[in-house]
Each structure stands twice: as structure tokens, then as C-alpha cells.
């Protein structure tokens, strides 16, 4: 090794030794001299909470029904305000506050003053346009409903705590809300910083089409006006799957401005309000009698105009005494005595076994918040009376929800299978999609009974309910008229008119339930709910592309010929 190489080696060794001394010195400085001070810094911790974005709700075609927006808090830093009088003059009309009160806040000695806890984004935009400094706008998460009041009861609303309180927003709150992330973070620059990531809420895709829903709501609003009704409900369902195609209650409210609506108005009447269904229940009574073998469609009974069961005398609604009557006439003329006779022949055990199989007295399980189970006392219950065997057969003395009624009758339109009603078709979570698979709630009657009953319900519409008929389509259905009971007393002048119908009768694609509460134009469902049904269905079949009978049957024949 020559001298030059030795010098370089010593230079390197000296530099390494000096670096080592520096490192040791710094360690002594941090760990001995300044140890107490650094320990205090390392101990400084804060709690970080990350709020996720709430999931979006779409209709079946991808139209946004509910999404995220923001309201704003308005504050001001008085020391940053250069022209307080001008700023107060500009803010007063925008915030709807007195100018002198705002001016006092702007001239205060406080470092920060809150002027308004919550304003809309539109109002915030007006404040941003003010050419004066010092105002601070802080966003607050807020649910936004681009379609206004459309589907108000189905969607529900989200309160200021970002919690769903009704409808889908309430039922799927945990799914939509996602998962907040919270962690205690040490803010020392000497500590490794960890990420805090929240899981955003999942999106919902509904079975409802915005256009179909809009059509239904328009017809319901018009019906309430035409018949001077207090309120009303319309549900459209696919009986083959249980998918809800439209669900509307009137009057409605704004889910965005939910605080302006009283709680009763925010309640979803289709699933939460119970009522006596009236004569629509005769469909169920007849189906039970046929399926149990108590009668056949060709059988007759003698109707003297009254029948006494359990001490209660039942009379026909029109006080008629038609004598010997067949089953189809019983249904088409909606004879109370006939329905009570069938229930009496079946006996309480058989009759109420069928009522339970059709789902009365328990929730359907539809994916909407606050579903009621209805009221149906059974033999042996505390409040049971023998007369219920008669009155329940024609829709009195028990209470149902609209969703129960359409779900039960849908079994008649679907070969005896009663499907689970549902509104959410898909849940989309990140890159995963969970699709609802239709499921059978029960099979209360056979396919043969369903076909027999449908044929009888078609005749009933053709014979007696002209107002429900739709040109080109065979309708199966039944009217209902029920008195309104308050404090265990039936009101003499208030009724609930309803009509339930399904079509095309030989291969149903939709079932529609119309209910009008306390109409004043006429006392019968055939004169209020039935024409509402017909007017709606005339447009509904076009929107849903359901061809008339002659076109459909012609296409079936051509397809059969081509296949043969």
C-alpha cells in the first residue's frame, strides 16, 4: 500500500469516526438531556373520525333518486371584516335576519361568531357572491332527492344525524350509511402516521321505474281531487316475482324538507296504516272455500238475505235476498250472506288456517321500515268472538295493510304462489353486486283453485264492475267498500273504497291495488277506486309494453305455428 492509499484510508476512517461521534452525541441529546420534553411530545394524541359517503339510491333504469349534498354553517371572524356595515346590509336579506343583530356580531370582540347553523347550498351560493371578506361557510352532509317529492314514502328521509328514519332510507340505513372509521393518532413527528379510511355506503337499485311511479302518483292525485278523498294508496306489483313496480301514497311530502311535515304525513300508509278491507276479502274467502273442497264453482246456496252467526246477523249490502245463488254470482254481486255462509261451512279452524296461509295477521317482510302486522284475532284469543267467522269473511272485524292485501291476492294471479314483496333489486358494494332472488312466502291454494278463482273474478268484472274494464284487456278483480271505524264505532258517512285487479287475466303481468280513503263523490268502491284503476291501467299497459289480448294471443299462435 503506497502513501497515497494510506492517506485516503485514514481520511475515511476519521470521517466514519466523526459521524459515529455525531450519532452518539445526538442520541445522548435526545435520550438524556431532552428526554422529558420529547416524551411529552410523543404523548400528544388526537382522535380522528372519518365519515363515509352515504350510498346512492337508483331506480331500475339508473336514475338517481337519493344522493348526497351539503348544507352549510355560516360563521364570521370579526377581526377579518373590513366593512361590517356593508356586509351586514348584504347578509340580512339572504339569511332572513335583522341587520342590527348581524352588525352586532360583526363588530363583536369574539374571534369567531356563528350566524346560522344551517343554510341550503343555494343560499350559500348567494353569500359567496357577496364582495366582502370575513364570512366562512362550512359544509354539513345532507341527503338530496333530485326527483323532489316523487316516491316520498318509499324512499323515506335522513335526519340531521345522517340516520335514515323511514322507508328505504330507514330499512337499509346500515347498508347505505357505510362504516365510520375512528382511530387515536399520535401527532408527534417522530411517530409513523397511520391512515384512517372509512367504508362508504352501498348503493341500492330498485324494482321501481321512475316513469311508472310518476304515472301512478299523477293518477292518485287526480283521483283524490275527483272523488274528494282524504287520502289514498296505489300499489303496482309483478305477481310472478313480488317486485313492486310502483308504490304511492297521497298526500306526499318533501323528503329533503322532512322537518316541515308532521310525523303522520311522513308515515308510509301502504305498510303502516291498517284498515278493514271490506268486500275485497271475499276473494280470499272464496279461494279458501274452493281449495278446501267446501264448494265447487258450480255449487249453489240459498240466500234469504240474512244469516246469524255467533249472535251477529249479517245482511247483504243492498239488503237483497236473491234466493238460490251460484258461486260466481255470489262473487260478482258481492253478497255478504254468501261469504258468511262459505265461512260457516268451512268452520273456524279451516277458515282461519287459510287466512293465516294468505299472510293476514303478520308482516309480509317487505323491505320498508315500520311495517304493521294488521289485526286478525284467532279462535282462542282473548278478544275472539264467534261472530268474527262471519264478519271476517267479507272484510269486517279484522284489519290489514295495503301491502298485505295485494300480496295475498297476488297468489290468485300467480298459480297459488304468494311471493315475497320487495323493492330493492340490487345492492352494490364496491365491486360486488348482490341481486335479490324472488322467493315464495307461501302456497295457500293450488294452481287449479287460482285458475278457477281468476275465471270467476273475470266474470265479476264483466257483469258488475263496468268502471274497471279496460278495452282490449281481460281484467280479473274485485271491488271493496268498508266503513271507517273510530273508537269502536262505525262512522255513518265515511268509507274506504278499493279495487284490486290483475291482467292479462290468463297470464297476469301486473296486479294493481287502489284504495281511496273517505271519498265524498260516491259511497262505493265501484264508483271511486274502480274507475281510477281503469284510467291508470289504460296508460300503464302502454308504459309497461303489455299488448292487448288479441295481439298477444295472435303472437302466441304464430309462435306456436313457427315452433311446430
pLDDT tens per residue across span 24-38:
666 655 555 655 565
Band of pLDDT at residue 509, cut at 50, 70 and 90? very high
Q: Please check whether residue 115 is in contact with residue 105, taking contact to mean a CB–CB distance below 8 angstroms.
A: yes
What percentage of the chain exceeds 90 in pLDDT? 71
Which residues share a beta bridge with 206?
Answer: 424
Q: Please check whether residue 404 is in contact with residue 374, taking contact to mean a CB–CB distance below 8 angstroms.
A: yes
Owner of C-alpha cell 286478525: 376
Owner of C-alpha cell 246477523: 313
On the question of pLDDT at 512 being above 90, the answer is yes
pLDDT tens per residue across span 58-77:
999 999 999 999 899 999 98
| pLDDT for res 8 | 63
Q: Please check whether residue 338 is in contact with residue 321, taking contact to mean a CB–CB distance below 8 angstroms.
A: no
Return the top range by mean pLDDT from 338-342, 482-486, 522-526: 338-342
User: What is the arithmetic mean of pLDDT over 399-407?
Assistant: 98
User: What is the arithmetic mean of pLDDT over 10-20?
Assistant: 66
Helix or strand holding residue 476 (H, E): strand 476-486
Band of pLDDT at residue 490, cut at 50, 70 and 90? confident
pLDDT tens per residue across span 419-468:
999 999 999 998 899 999 999 999 999 999 999 999 999 999 999 888 99
CA-to-CA distance for 307 and 344, rounded, in angstroms? Answer: 10
pLDDT tens per residue across span 280-310:
999 999 999 999 999 999 999 999 999 999 9
pLDDT tens per residue across span 524-564:
999 999 999 999 999 999 999 999 998 887 766 566 556 65
| pLDDT for res 29 | 56
On the question of pLDDT at 16 being above 90, the answer is no
Band of pLDDT at residue 343, cut at 50, 70 and 90? very high
Please work out, in degrees rounded to the nearest 5, the angle formed at the alpha carbon of residue 257 by the alpha carbons of 251 and 260. Answer: 65
CA-to-CA distance for 113 and 133, rounded, in angstroms? Answer: 14
Q: Which fold would CATH assign to domain 68-144?
A: Ribosomal Protein L30; Chain: A, (3.30.1390)
CA-to-CA distance for 300 and 19, rounded, in angstroms? Answer: 112
On the question of pLDDT at 107 being above 60, the answer is yes
| pLDDT for res 82 | 86
Q: How many CA atoms lie within 13 A of 124 on its CB side?
A: 17
User: What is the arithmetic mean of pLDDT over 264-283?
Assistant: 96
- The verdict on whether omega for the bond into residue 251 sits within 30 degrees of 0, i.e. cis, is yes
| pLDDT for res 316 | 95
Q: Please check whether residue 342 is in contact with residue 325, taking contact to mean a CB–CB distance below 8 angstroms.
A: no
| pLDDT for res 553 | 77
Strand spans (E) along 243-382: 244-250, 300-303, 306-309, 312-315, 323-326
| pLDDT for res 47 | 57
Q: How many CA atoms lie within 13 A of 190 on its CB side?
A: 9
Backbone angles phi, psi at 243, to 5 degrees: -65, 130
> 210-556: which CATH number, 3.40.710.10, 3.30.70.360, 3.40.1280.10, 3.30.70.890?
3.40.710.10
User: What is the arithmetic mean of pLDDT over 175-179?
Assistant: 90
User: What is the arithmetic mean of pLDDT over 176-197?
Assistant: 63
| pLDDT for res 488 | 77
User: What is the arithmetic mean of pLDDT over 480-503?
Assistant: 91
User: What is the arithmetic mean of pLDDT over 214-238?
Assistant: 98
User: What is the arithmetic mean of pLDDT over 519-524?
Assistant: 93
Band of pLDDT at residue 314, cut at 50, 70 and 90? very high
DSSP string, 216-246: HHHHHHHHHHHTT-SEEEEEEE-TTT-BEEE
| pLDDT for res 378 | 94
Please work out, in degrees rounded to the nearest 5, the angle formed at the alpha carbon of residue 71 by the alpha carbons of 66 and 73. Answer: 160
On the question of pLDDT at 191 being above 60, the answer is no
Cell matching residue 160: 340531521
Considering just the CA atoms, what is the radius of gyration of the chain in Å?
34
CA-to-CA distance for 88 and 132, rounded, in angstroms? Answer: 10
Q: Which residue has the higher pLDDT, 163 or 21?
A: 163
CA-to-CA distance for 447 and 417, rounded, in angstroms? Answer: 8
| pLDDT for res 161 | 86
Mean pLDDT over each residue of the chain, to the nearest integer = 90
Task: Give the list of residues 6+ apart from residue 20 with CB closer than 8 angstroms, or none.
Answer: none
Q: Please check whether residue 482 is in contact with residue 496, taking contact to mean a CB–CB distance below 8 angstroms.
A: yes
CATH 3.40.710.10 residue ranges in the chain? 210-556
Amino acid at each position: 500500500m503506497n502513501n497515497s492509499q494510506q492517506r485516503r484510508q485514514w481520511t475515511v476512517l476519521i470521517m466514519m469516526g466523526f459521524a459515529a461521534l455525531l450519532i452518539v452525541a445526538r442520541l445522548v441529546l435526545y435520550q438524556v438531556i431532552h428526554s422529558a420534553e420529547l416524551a411529552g411530545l410523543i404523548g400528544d394524541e388526537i382522535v380522528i373520525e372519518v365519515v363515509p359517503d352515504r350510498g346512492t339510491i337508483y331506480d331500475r333504469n339508473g336514475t338517481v333518486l337519493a344522493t348526497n349534498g351539503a348544507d352549510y354553517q355560516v360563521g364570521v371572524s370579526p377581526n377579518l371584516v373590513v366593512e361590517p356595515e356593508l356586509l351586514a346590509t348584504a347578509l340580512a336579506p339572504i339569511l332572513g335576519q335583522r341587520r342590527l343583530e348581524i352588525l352586532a356580531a360583526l363588530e363583536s370582540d369574539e374571534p369567531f361568531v356563528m350566524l346560522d347553523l344551517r343554510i341550503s347550498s343555494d343560499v350559500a351560493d348567494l353569500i359567496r357572491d357577496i364582495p366582502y371578506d370575513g364570512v366562512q361557510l362550512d359544509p354539513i352532509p345532507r341527503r338530496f332527492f333530485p326527483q323532489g317529492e316523487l316516491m316520498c314514502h318509499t324512499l323515506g328521509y335522513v335526519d340531521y344525524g345522517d340516520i335514515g328514519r323511514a322507508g328505504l332510507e330507514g330499512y337499509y340505513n346500515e347498508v347505505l350509511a357505510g362504516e365510520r372509521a375512528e382511530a387515536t393518532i399520535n401527532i408527534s413527528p417522530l411517530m409513523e402516521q397511520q391512515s384512517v379510511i372509512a367504508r362508504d355506503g352501498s348503493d341500492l337499485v330498485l324494482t321501481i321505474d321512475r316513469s311508472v311511479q310518476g304515472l301512478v302518483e299523477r293518477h292518485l292525485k287526480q283521483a283524490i281531487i275527483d272523488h274528494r278523498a282524504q287520502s289514498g294508496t296505489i300499489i303496482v306489483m309483478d305477481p310472478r316475482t313480488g317486485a313492486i313496480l310502483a308504490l304511492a301514497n297521497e298526500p306526499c311530502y318533501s323528503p329533503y324538507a322532512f322537518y316541515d311535515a308532521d310525523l303522520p304525513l311522513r308515515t308510509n300508509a301502504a305498510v303502516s296504516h291498517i284498515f278493514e278491507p271490506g268486500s275485497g276479502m271475499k276473494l280470499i274467502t272464496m279461494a279458501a272455500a274452493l281449495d278446501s273442497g267446501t264448494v265447487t264453482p258450480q255449487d249453489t246456496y240459498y240466500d234469504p238475505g240474512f244469516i246469524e252467526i255467533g249472535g251477529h246477523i249479517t245482511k247483504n249490502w243492498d239488503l237483497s235476498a236473491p234466493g238460490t245463488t251460484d258461486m260466481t254470482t255470489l262473487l260478482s254481486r258481492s253478497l255478504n250472506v254468501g261469504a258468511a255462509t262459505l265461512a260457516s261451512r268451512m268452520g273456524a279452524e279451516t277458515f282461519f288456517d287459510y287466512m293465516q296461509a294468505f299472510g293476514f295477521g303478520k308482516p309480509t317482510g317487505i323491505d320498508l321500515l315500520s311495517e304493521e302486522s294488521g289485526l286478525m284475532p284467532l279462535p282462542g284469543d282473548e278478544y275472539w268472538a264467534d261472530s268474527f267467522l262471519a264478519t271476517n269473511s267479507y272484510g269486517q272485524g279484522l284489519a290489514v295493510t295495503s301491502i298485505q292485501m295485494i300480496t295475498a291476492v297476488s297468489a290468485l294471479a300467480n298459480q297459488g304462489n304468494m311471493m315475497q314483496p320487495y323493492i330493492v333489486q340490487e345492492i352494490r358494494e364496491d365491486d360486488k353486486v348482490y341481486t335479490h332472488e324472488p322467493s315464495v312466502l307461501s302456497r295457500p291454494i293450488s294452481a287449479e283453485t287460482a285458475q278457477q278463482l281468476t275465471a270467476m273474478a273475470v266474470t265479476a268484472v264483466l257483469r258488475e264492475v263496468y268502471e274497471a274494464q279496460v278495452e282490449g284487456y281481460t281484467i280479473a278483480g274485485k271491488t271493496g267498500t268498508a266503513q271507517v271505524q273510530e273508537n269502536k264505532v262505525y262512522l255513518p258517512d265515511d268509507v274506504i273504497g278499493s279495487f284490486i285487479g290483475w291482467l292479462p287475466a290468463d297470464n297476469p303481468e301486473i296486479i294493481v291495488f287502489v284504495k281511496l280513503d273517505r271519498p265524498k263523490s260516491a259511497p262505493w268502491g265501484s264508483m271511486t277506486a274502480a274507475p281510477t284503476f281503469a284510467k291508470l291501467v289504460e296508460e300503464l299497459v302502454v308504459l309497461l309494453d303489455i299488448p292487448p289480448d288479441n295481439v298477444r294471443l295472435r303472437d302466441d299462435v304464430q309462435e306456436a305455428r313457427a315452433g311446430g
